[in-house]
Amino acid sequence: MTRRRSHLPRFILFVIALALLGIAGNTWLQRIRGVDLPEGRQMTEFDRWLISTYIDLLRSGEVSRPASSDPTPRLFVVSPGESVSSIAQRLEAQGLIRDANLFRLYVRMRGLDATLRAGSFTLRPNMSIEQIALALQRSAGNEVQVTIPEGKRREEIADLLEQQVGISADEFRALTSRASAYGYTFLQGLPPDATLEGFLFPDTYRLPENPTAQDAILRMLDAFGQKAAPLLEQARAQGKDPYDVLIVASIVEREAVIGSERPLIASVYWNRLRIGQPLQADPTTQYALGYQPDQQTWWKRGLTLEDLRYADPAGYNTYVNPALPPGPIASPGLSSIEAALRPAETNFFYFVASCNGDGTHQFSVTFAEHQSKLCR
């Protein structure tokens, strides 16, 4: 009995010691969490020592461990004056880091918060917190602007970027030749050999000075995801194949001159597909024929009967291939995607350019009616 009583004071002291350690530890963690707030007090050397000790003892492995093994490049834009807290939260939301709080602590500990730059950065989920923090110190410098018009094919966009902002056309073509190399949701489920044709969204972009091909590609894919992908999700909800809608939209983009005619043109193609009638769309033949050195264009002018009979091994000539081509033939804008998603309700199976040369078309239900509207 006496022996048990002698142990009791020691046990009480042990419990008290644990409680004090817990209180001290909680105070320590609270102080650590507070020192990384941008609006908080100036960080002292003691604060820096606290964070360093915390990271070294408890979190060092997480600082050097990437969020995932995904090597897909992602565009990350830092706005002028953006706080470290905001940057960290967005990095976590995009899956580039696992813990926004740890990123902020690491940046404050290293004194990098004052050196993070505004601009556009190419980051990957398989980069560690250390690597991302260092990457965000590179200033984007001056920006350059480039406009990608609707209806351009991949090779044309490559040439345009080379001419206007100095991006290597060969590198751009190589990096856009495999859609499977990019982890965007809207690129999932495409044919294995699908390129980024059709997904290089036409828009005006501001790029870093001396941009790389990857800078441009990621900007275009991000824009597609924000603006066009929701329409393709609507197509999926309607029971339509989103890729088919994009293919039809790309043909509409090349055919339409007057914006109001896009839904009418789309209706002709969907009507033909519904009954198994070949699309016989001239732009698909032009796409299949490729670059024309004598005309210096990717879209041959003045198609001949021989051109229309071209047995394109890839299947893009819809005068020969009775189905949809295997992929888009250009980058459509939102209006053409909307027209392909919601075509006009018509019985039209034919259309031909009006003879007055104003860009309009004449639409017909029967082939005989169509023949009567051909320019003589």
d(CA 114, CA 127): 21
What tokens does 5 get? 């009583």
Query: Has residue 55 got a pLDDT over 70?
Result: no
Tell me, what DSSP letter sits at residue 200?
Answer: S
Look at residue 93 and tell me whether its pLDDT is greater than 50.
yes
What digits encode the pLDDT tens for the residues 13-25? 444 444 444 444 4
Count of other CB atoms within 10 angstroms of residue 336: 29
- Say what the pLDDT of residue 73 is: 75
Name the phi and psi angles at 206, rounded to 5. Answer: -105, 120
At 308 the pLDDT is 95
Residue 91 has pLDDT above 60, yes or no: yes
Contacts of 88 (CB under 8 A, 6+ apart): 97, 100, 101, 103, 104, 107
pLDDT of residue 25: 47
pLDDT digits (tens, 9 = 90+) for 248-279: 999 999 999 999 999 999 999 999 999 999 99
**Proportion of the chain above pLDDT 70, given as a percent:** 80
Entry pTM: 0.69
More confident residue, 348 or 375: 348
pLDDT digits (tens, 9 = 90+) for 101-132: 888 877 776 676 666 777 778 788 888 888 88
Task: Decide which of 3.40.50.1370, 3.30.70.1520, 3.40.50.11600, 3.30.1490.480 is the CATH code for 27-135.
Answer: 3.30.1490.480
What's the pLDDT tens digit per position in 147-180?
Answer: 999 999 999 999 999 999 999 999 999 999 999 9
Q: How confident is the model at residue 9 (pLDDT cuts 50, 70, 90)?
A: low
Rounded Cα distance between 177 and 154, Å, is: 9
pLDDT at position 281 is 96
Q: Which of 229, 228, 188, 214 is nearest to 76 (CA)?
A: 214
Instruction: Give yes or no for residue 318 having a pLDDT over 90.
Output: yes
Whether the pLDDT of residue 45 is over 90: the answer is no
Q: What is the pLDDT of residue 63?
A: 67
Within the chain, all domains assigned CATH 3.30.1490.480 are found at: 27-135
